[in-house]
Amino acid sequence: MVDLRLVRVSVMDGVVMLELLKSYGLKEVREIPASAIEYKQLLRGTDVAIGGYGYEEQREVANAASELGIPFITYPVITTVLPDGIPFDELEFPAGDHILSPVLNLLVRAFQMIELLKLFVVGTPLFAPDALVVHLEPDTLDLRLERVKLSVKRC
């Protein structure tokens, strides 16, 4: 069993995502409702947070995770934001429709899991500003992965 505590943000994936996370033998998997306000308190004692759907929700969770020294894996553009790396607020994510089809959503979630495993078990995750965008052609179901470099806002 991997001694890793994990908090996943957003309840929109329900049982499928939770069961996938639990199948990896993680010590604890908790789900934070999207309406939760005190993310910092809810994230205490966790090792990683996985992003949900909305940009604002992810922004708040990423900031709380950063303050606590916890990596944050974004959604639907996948990158790992480290507490001592480029802040979430300074990353410019590509514009586009962030409501994904159920199939594409599951694929993105699977790639988030791969990033989580690379972060704690083996491999080198995509650290911001490097990122992964998953494209699924709706007519043919052809899958295309695009590695991109996110722009960094100059403050």
Q: 1.10.10.60, 3.40.50.720, 3.20.20.70, 3.55.40.20: which CATH number matches 2-152?
A: 3.40.50.720
The ranges assigned to domains in the chain are: 2-152
Task: Tell me how far apart the alpha carbons of residues 151 and 94 are, in angstroms, rounded to a whole number.
Answer: 9
* Res 33: pLDDT: 62
Whether the predicted model's global pTM rises above the 0.85 cut: no
* Residue 132 structure tokens: 């992964």
Higher-pLDDT residue of 38 and 82 is 82
Task: Tell me how far apart the alpha carbons of residues 52 and 49 are, in angstroms, rounded to a whole number.
Answer: 9
85-111 pLDDT tens trace: 999 999 999 876 566 777 788 888 889
* Res 121: pLDDT: 83
